[in-house]
A and B are shown apart, each in its own frame.
Chain A
Amino acid sequence: MPYKFLEDEAIADIAFEAEGKNLNDLFQSAAEATIVSMADPATIKNNITKIITKKANTIKELLFELIEEIIYLKDKDAIVFHSVTVEVNEEKKTCTATLTGDDINHETQALRNDVKAITMHYYTVEKTTDGWEAHIVLDI
């Protein structure tokens, strides 16, 4: 699994580690862990498509901005997500994420947590010998 939820951390919230052999994979893993924390994607139809484009000064900031924007869209447009794909330009420090999902429906969807923020609590994005890793805590 490209992400792993951590049992012993952030006891009131959600912590996970994401990994990828490249930045596209890492960003996608982290974005998937975030949308899975909100709702079971298997119960969400892909009736809506949202595209997020972000630019930052560092890769670490870029991932933070992406996760923050996904959380923002959930509240602003009242939607939850079925899938996400991400493309990262390491040189330009930009990313484009394409999310599919649907309007929130408490009757038909398995909703989980109202994720409210990505935190800087032990927030790391690191290059490893096998690729990239990130440690993220979401405030719920």
Chain B
Amino acid sequence: MINRNIELPKFERQGELIWDIPKNYKKGMNVPARIYATEKLLKDMDLAVFDQITNVACLPGIQSRAMCMPDGHSGYGFPIGGVAAFDLQEGVISPGGIGFDVNCGMRLVVTNLTYKDVKPNIKELVDLLFKKVPSGVGCKGFVDLTKDKFREVMQNGAKWCVDNCYGWKDDLAHIEDEGCIKHANPDKVSEKAINRGINQLGTLGSGNHYLEIQYAGQIFDKEAAAKLGIHNKDQICVMVHCGSRGFGHQVGTDYLKKFTEIMPSYGITVPDPELACAPFQSKEGQDYYHAMACAANMAFANRQVILHRIRECFSSVFGTTAEELNMNLVYDVAHNIAKIEKHNIEGKNKEVVVHRKGSTRCFGPSRTELAPIFRKIGQPVIVGGSMETGSYLLLGTDKAAETFGSTMHGSGRTMSRTQARKQTKGEKLQKDMEKRGIYVRTASYSGLAEEAGFAYKNINEVIETMDIAGISKKLVALKPIGNIKG
């Protein structure tokens, strides 16, 4: 019923890891497209990635090139791993370039505990976290909010949490944009979105979202890692992956429909309905940006209150305070977002709207937006792998200017959820993982099977790609010992 004749592009190879698709690949491309990948990762990418990234290159006002990171796989409109910057005056904003789960992102917390301290308590700890951090279908959060309070969350993000005793003051400096995107305006958010989101603060959700207990398996730069509180191998960290839940999705759906309606009035046509967009400076474009900021702030707040619960659980299990356990936030970073940032475009410093969809900001030390501690080492980047294979903490570099300060967000799927379910059962996977030293609790066994390690690309190869390209540098490899799967 659907025609998907996608032609494999004739890539123009630029060195070992860069594959350019020239403007003449497809009618309407305003700029070329670029894929960062090893030859193997490129071959393993589904053809739709190349179709989608060259569709992105057709959008009005796009600057320099449309890019896809090595974890790229097909998404809606943009591929996952997609990065594009648009002129602030002539360009557009597109929900399809941000993702429905606005500000889906990663958070990493350090402790002063070691593998030996935690391993004997891992079941008690994971069971308690599973009980205290709601996950799975339709889960309700543990923060009771009135609509007025929820508006405050939308406007202030993680700061609202710290002001309301769900965090430490120092946490804010360790969050992208201090956990609050400016210009959030709750008046631009529908009642439907508010009704979906008001009970979701403090929930993991489902799909590929998780909370994981990890230990430092390898430290690549001891001096820089120490600055972030990771001093030794075997040190215990906690990683959280979640976003703005149904709230962000409703914001995305509302504006996708609105943009589909109004695009013709601006003379815009797009090659894929999921690329529906509006001029950034138009009323509709600004309305979406202000609503998206609300969803982004809700996601920062969501991860912040989850951190509060993590600290409470560790404190309970280990019989001491979270302060005594040095449970400091390493960093929190978005990987589904649009931001106004200054970048060098063809020799000129220019403000642009950078869309990152399944891509993480990875600013180098020279970026003035970073807190002082990161001006010495670069911005921490948290990349989640599969629950079986481990994850990474990286640092952004100044060379990342060539990707508008962006790198990969995860390992990227290679297999559909249905295929993964056919290859294993959740109950079997849970037992197998426990034998390998990873204790998992899940809200859905079918969901667990869908997240099996074999359904993902090799995280090491994805990380190496951007490390060798000089965009983001490996800092710590993190290995899982306990996981809560939404």
Contacts and interface: CB of A to CB of B under 8 A. Distances in A.
Contacts of B192: 72, 76
Interface in A20-75: 38-39, 68, 71-72, 74-75
Contacts, number: 129
Contacts of A78: 138, 140, 199
10 contacts: A5-B418, A6-B416, A11-B413, A17-B1, A80-B138, A111-B137, A113-B206, A114-B246, A114-B486, A116-B245
A137 B76 contact: yes
A8 interface: yes
Contacts of A17: 1
A56 to B, nearest CB: 10
Contact of A113 (B1, B76, B272, B447): B447
Most chain B beta-carbon contacts within 10 A, residue among A75, A106, A117, A139: A75
A96 to B, nearest CB: 19
Given A12-B207, A72-B246, A114-B137, 14 more contacts: A8-B419, A10-B416, A11-B413, A11-B414, A78-B140, A78-B199, A111-B137, A112-B446, A113-B206, A114-B207, A117-B249, A119-B274, A121-B77, A121-B274
A13 B417 contact: yes
Given A12-B417, A122-B2, A123-B273, A116 B246 contact: yes
A120 B273 contact: yes
A125 B414 CA distance: 28
Interface residues of A, number: 43
A82 interface: no
B465 interface: no
Contact of B100 (A8, A74, A113, A139): A139
Given A114-B206, A120-B260, A7 B419 contact: yes
Contact of B253 (A68, A112, A140): A68
Contacts of B208: 12
A90 interface: no
A117 B417 contact: no
A106 B441 CA distance: 13
B3 to A, nearest CB: 10
A14 B443 contact: no
Interface of A: 5-14, 17, 38-39, 68, 71-72, 74-76, 78-80, 104, 106, 111-114, 116-124, 126, 133, 135, 137, 139-140
Contacts of A68: 253
Given A117-B249, A120-B274, A121-B274, A14 B417 contact: yes
Nearest to B416: A11
Contact of A11 (B4, B46, B200, B486): B46
B44 to A, nearest CB: 12
A123 to B, nearest CB: 7
A53 B455 CA distance: 39
Interface in B258-314: 260, 272-274, 276
- Give 6 nearest A-B pairs by CB, closest first: A114-B206, A116-B249, A75-B246, A120-B273, A111-B137, A75-B196
A76 B247 CA distance: 10
Contacts of A10: 74, 416
Contacts of A104: 137-139
Given A11-B417, A120-B274, A111 B199 contact: no
A11 B73 contact: yes
A52 to B, nearest CB: 13
B252 interface: yes
Given A38-B137, A113-B206, A106 B253 contact: no
B276 A76 contact: no
B317 interface: no
B433 to A, nearest CB: 20
B33 interface: no
Given A13-B417, A114-B206, A120-B260, A106 B74 contact: no
